[in-house]
Amino acid sequence: MSIAPTIAVKLKEIAGPHGFSEDPAEIAPHLEEWRSKYHGHSTLLLKPSHTEQVSQILALCNESNTPIVPQGGNTGLVGGQIPFHGEVLLSLARMNRIRTVDAHGMSLIAEAGVILADVQRTAEDAGRYFPLSLAAEGSCTIGGNLSTNAGGVNVLRYGNTRELVLGLEVVLADGRVLNLLRTLRKDNTGYDLKQLFIGAEGTLGVITAAALKLFPVPGIRTTAFAAITDPEAAVALLSHLQDETGGLISAFELIPRIGLEFVLAHMPQTADPLSAPSPWYVLTEAAGPRGMDMHGVIEASLAAAMEAGLVRDATIAQNETQRAQFWRLRESLSESQKPEGGSIKHDVSLPIARIPEFLARASAAVIAKVPGARPVPFGHIGDGNIHFNISVPKGGDNAAFLAQWETVNRIVHDIVREFGGSISAEHGLGVMKHNEIARYKGADEIAVMQALKRTLDPRNILNPGKVLPDSD
């Protein structure tokens, strides 16, 4: 499709002289996601600086049936932020102001373009803590986090993004501004409309600002890296540590030996925390109040786990530098797979108790289909979310391997369904899974989703072709 010249002129007028670009070089980085799996096309990038501009832009797009794709930090992994058919591209990056901070009320209001790390720093400066944390936090934006209902490493303790939101400001497809920016902890006045837009990937409205929950800064934090024999031990260790700390475990991450080896081979300034290799590891962190001997609690808990045969070896970070080194190993797992060649990725969630059996079944099934394939399952086992990635066989043909993406997806996702899980835990559906979801969601559930889309965006101008299955 092409944008009508008269509409393009009007859109540029609304955005203002610094609020748009038609320069292919400036637009290009917005058209490709970081894995280079998806490539898009657009001739017009709009960069509004305030909500009223977004309102006018959407009103005009709706009136003229001009499709538009909202984009945050372009860190999404399922293509939801990419314009594939020449749609107008709407970047919220210039809407990057912190509007208010209420330290006593434990909240702040941030515009959609604020970088996640900046929200964390703002909270810290106010003596508070914003717990959403993920590998892309230095470039992903709050608007994108909300639109995808991002997860990250602290979901076990604090929940997904939707659980960290008190209110939203959303521009609807026809340009109306829905002001839901309340910071109330209790507001029982009908439908909780803000939840419709969290995780909707910009298909129901454009989030322009959010009221976010803040928390007390953890007084003490203890981080441990432990070697285990198998995922069954990881599940048992999680339960043990939660019991011993009274539920103060904030992160619990599963790492396979192959993943750690990739990191050690390809990421500079990394080192194995333990003296002997192990088939599996967990990286766990607990946070508690000042004065609590959390180090002692974790140390004693790990010692008891070793006596019970759950842990083979373990080390506890002695300072912030060592803690950062432990977390760098975990956060480098995705990046370190790139030098190993093609990787077929899955973002799935399952009942925690069933994860060990799933990993065994899915790994065996994939290897049977693609001999030599290297499963690299890792992630947030504490909240049931596993990134079940498959690397190309050693020395194998990347193109031939990646050509089997859909076949491998079907194998893995069918097993996920059998185990009562979800094919998208924290990355969303985007374009990657929008048709596949029809196989795994009930027809009535999809029909209700489609009805919401028709109600809020009857002309289908907002991020078309994403999230919902194509119509027959």
Least Cα distance to 144 among 183, 98, 95 occurs for 95
174-203: b (≥16 Cβ within 10 Å) or e: bbebbebbebeeeeeeeeeebebbbbbbbb
Return the residue matching tokens 């109330």: 184
Answer whether residue 279 is part of any domain: yes
Least Cα distance to 209 among 356, 67, 423, 51 occurs for 51
| Same domain for 360 and 385 | yes
| Same domain for 198 and 254 | no
434: CB partners within 8 A, 6+ apart:
465, 466, 467, 468, 469, 470
**HSE (side-chain half, CA atoms, 13 Å) at 268:** 0
| Same domain for 318 and 241 | yes
Q: Are 342 and 391 in contact (CB under 8 A)?
A: yes
| Same domain for 125 and 83 | no
Q: For 440-469, what is each residue's pLDDT tens digit?
A: 999 999 999 999 999 999 999 999 999 999
Q: What angle do CA 436, 440, 443 make, to 5 degrees?
A: 100
pLDDT of residue 35: 75
Q: Which two tokens stand for residue 63?
A: 């009136």
| Same domain for 246 and 194 | no
Return the residue matching tokens 């970081």: 34
Answer whether residue 45 is part of any domain: yes
Answer whether residue 445 is part of any domain: no
pLDDT of residue 36: 78
Q: Structural domain tally of the chain?
A: 4
| Same domain for 184 and 102 | yes
Q: Are 58 and 178 in contact (CB under 8 A)?
A: no
Answer whether residue 427 is part of any domain: no
pLDDT of residue 437: 93
pLDDT of residue 129: 97
Q: Which two tokens stand for residue 29?
A: 């980085």
| Same domain for 207 and 109 | yes
| Same domain for 116 and 33 | no
Answer whether residue 454 is part of any domain: no
Least Cα distance to 76 among 34, 129, 123, 132 occurs for 34
Prediction pTM value: 0.93
**Residue 23 to residue 73: CA distance in whole angstroms:** 19
Q: Which two tokens stand for residue 382?
A: 């504490």
Answer whether residue 152 is part of any domain: yes
pLDDT of residue 222: 97
**Residue 214 to residue 121: CA distance in whole angstroms:** 12
**Residue 220 to residue 222: CA distance in whole angstroms:** 7
**Domain ends where: 57, 91, 125?**
91
336: CB partners within 8 A, 6+ apart:
259, 262, 263, 265, 266, 267
**Low-confidence residues of the chain: pLDDT under 50:** none
CB neighbours of residue 83 within 10 Å: 27
Answer whether residue 132 is part of any domain: yes
Least Cα distance to 133 among 125, 220, 356, 124 occurs for 124
| Same domain for 114 and 181 | yes
Domain that holds residue 407: 341-418
DSSP 8-state secondary structure symbol assigned to residue 106: T
